[in-house]
A and B are shown apart, each in its own frame.
Chain A
Amino acid sequence: MSYVFTVSPDFTPDHLSGWYIFNTWLQKQSGEAIHLEMYNSFQTQREAIQNNQIDLIYANPFDASMLVREKGFLPLVKASGISDEAIIAVNIKNSVQEIVRLLSASNTSSDAFLFDAVTTDNPEIKSELQPRSADFRYKVAMTEDPDVNMMGMIMLEAGDLNAGNIQTHICDSYVLVAKQLLQGNVDFGIFLAEAYDDLSNMIKKQLRVLVRSQISVIHHSLMIGPKLADRREELQNLLITMNDNQKGKDILASLKFDSWVKVDDEEMEFMIDLMDALAT
């Protein structure tokens, strides 16, 4: 019997070969035939999950609730010391210094990064500011990464922005989100923090981080479906001890991981509750 393994489509391209190497290692260690199937969108991956085509997944936390509560998946492990964090960045020329009362600003310039924001506590200045016109929309660039977008929108919400009053620009990669900012096509960019940090210095010099999340408890997890449920403990042990030898360490390094750590049911339930609370 062959099993199907898939990885959340938000992995960075330089991790692709690492996942294939990892899958080869996993097949050898478990003695099972496992086919690695990569999907290029969350939508096609979710369709495969709904059709019960997936047995093992390195899952985005946004999908954890559906996997556990609807499809009977169980958590195995997470990468040690790695959590998903988001960044809101702007073009360096953008005058916004903090995310507060963004809709009250008076300047409705069509040049995305030239607007004025209300960042002052001076009441005389505030009193002069008028609400923006009803049809004004801030432009926000993002990828399709669902947990990062959720965290990003939570941070923008503090400035009165929400899905109903922004114009979103969906990009295929975080480099393209940066490009939208550099070209002045959008006001804000939502990034996976790790992806932002990996941008070249030349790009980062032209951008500014407005806010970086420090949530710490939202993370991807390696999970198994019902067909592998009786192998859970065995697979967990294989993964947790993977960094005990050099070969395992090298494979983990190709994924930019140090080691795997166990995720128990309650930790997963806690994260699902947290995601549920944040999704509104």
Chain B
Amino acid sequence: MIVDMKAEDITADYKEITLTLYGGITRKVLYTEIETPYPDGKLIVSTTDKNGVITHVNQAFIEMSGYTESELINSPHSILRHPDMPSAAFKDLWDTVNKGERWQGYVKNLRKDGGYYWVKATVIPNIRHGQVVGYTSVRRKPSRTKVEECIKLYPTLF
């Protein structure tokens, strides 16, 4: 379940856009220019089912996304999709993990308050008894050098 973002949740001047997410869902997102720095020493961890629906989040995920645990569980992971992220990145992610391989990349995530945070994300398939049952995504603090490369690169991929 994913819903449009609400103006009352946004903490600064914002822009508005309607995104088409993985699976054909559309969502109105409101976004600001406010970055939340990635906290030192923490990992953001979540698991999803095979369709990318969130089944588990850790405390760092809750704190950085701005959502409550109950808002995140059963939502598609694309609740974090920021309009500055090219869809090619997520196509590559799904193409890779659907082959049973790990995906790694730098991602600008959207917070509930319209702000954003950069992560280095690794997504791996969870294989139980030989079957893919879901995916684990682990995000760590990214190198600012790499983030700046992505800030230049990603707009060219639209």
Chain A residues near B (Cβ < 8 Å): 98-101, 103-104, 154-155, 157-160, 211-217, 269-270, 273-274, 276-278, 280
Contacts and interface: CB of A to CB of B under 8 A. Distances in A.
B102 interface: yes
Interface residues of B, number: 28
10 contacts: A101-B145, A157-B120, A158-B40, A214-B39, A214-B42, A217-B58, A277-B122, A277-B138, A278-B43, A280-B122
Given A157-B140, A278-B122, 14 more contacts: A103-B145, A154-B140, A155-B141, A211-B41, A213-B41, A213-B42, A214-B39, A269-B126, A270-B47, A276-B124, A277-B124, A277-B138, A278-B138, A280-B102
Interface in B117-138: 120, 122-124, 126, 128, 136-138
B138 A212 contact: no
A158 B143 contact: yes
A264 B45 CA distance: 19
Contacts of A103: 145
Given A155-B40, A211-B41, A212-B41, A101 B144 contact: yes
A273 B126 CA distance: 7
A98 B142 CA distance: 13
Ordered nearest first, which 7 A-B pairs have the shortest CB separation?
Answer: A277-B138, A158-B141, A277-B122, A213-B41, A273-B136, A211-B40, A277-B124
Given A157-B143, A158-B143, A99 B43 contact: no
Nearest to A218: B43
A254 B132 CA distance: 42
A32 B42 CA distance: 42
Contacts of A99: 40
A217 B45 contact: yes
B104 interface: yes
Contacts of A101: 143-145
